[in-house]
């Protein structure tokens, strides 16, 4: 199940305790974000990747520090972390096959 992060401490705990984490920075009003969401849900539900997938709503006050920390200016913005370090980023909607390539699945 994809977890929705609501604050910095929750985010930091997930990043530090999971080997591979795909973070989706999104907003509920964002059309491309709405298109990407079911793609990520399908990947997660079908177990098509070993990555833990989390979502960060850029409009939540508790996430403003994360927006600044990672320079989030446009969404959707995917960031892949491996052992707590950023390994790649992607901006904008990408289809399922590209998400799986991005994760390395």
| 33 assigned to active site | yes
Instruction: State the residue for tokens 């509920």.
Output: 28
C-alpha 74/C-alpha 52 separation (Å) is: 22
* List 5, 21, 30, 72, catalytic entry: 30
The tally of CA atoms less than 13 A away on the side-chain side of residue 55 is 21
- pLDDT tens digit sequence for 71-88: 999 999 999 999 999 999
Write the CB contacts of 23 (distance below 8 Å, at least 6 apart in sequence): 5, 11, 15, 54, 55, 56, 78, 79, 80, 81
Residue 65 to residues 51, 53, 74: CA-CA distances in angstroms? Answer: 23, 20, 15
| 53 assigned to active site | no
* List 21, 33, 40, 56, catalytic entry: 33
pTM of the predicted model as reported, rounded to 2 decimal places: 0.96
- pLDDT tens digit sequence for 1-59: 899 999 999 999 999 999 999 999 999 999 999 999 999 999 999 999 999 999 999 99
Other CB atoms closer than 10 Å to residue 102's CB: what's the count?
Answer: 18
């Amino acid at each position: 199940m994809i977890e929705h992060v609501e604050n910095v401490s929750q985010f930091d705990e997930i990043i530090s305790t999971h080997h591979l984490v795909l973070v989706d920075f999104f907003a509920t009003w964002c059309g491309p974000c709405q298109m990407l969401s079911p793609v990520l849900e399908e990947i997660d539900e079908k177990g098509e990747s070993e990555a833990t997938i989390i979502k960060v709503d850029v409009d939540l006050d508790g996430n403003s520090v994360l927006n600044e920390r990672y320079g989030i200016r446009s969404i959707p913005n995917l960031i892949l972390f491996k052992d707590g370090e950023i390994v790649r980023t992607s901006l904008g909607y990408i289809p399922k096959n590209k998400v799986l390539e991005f994760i390395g699945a």
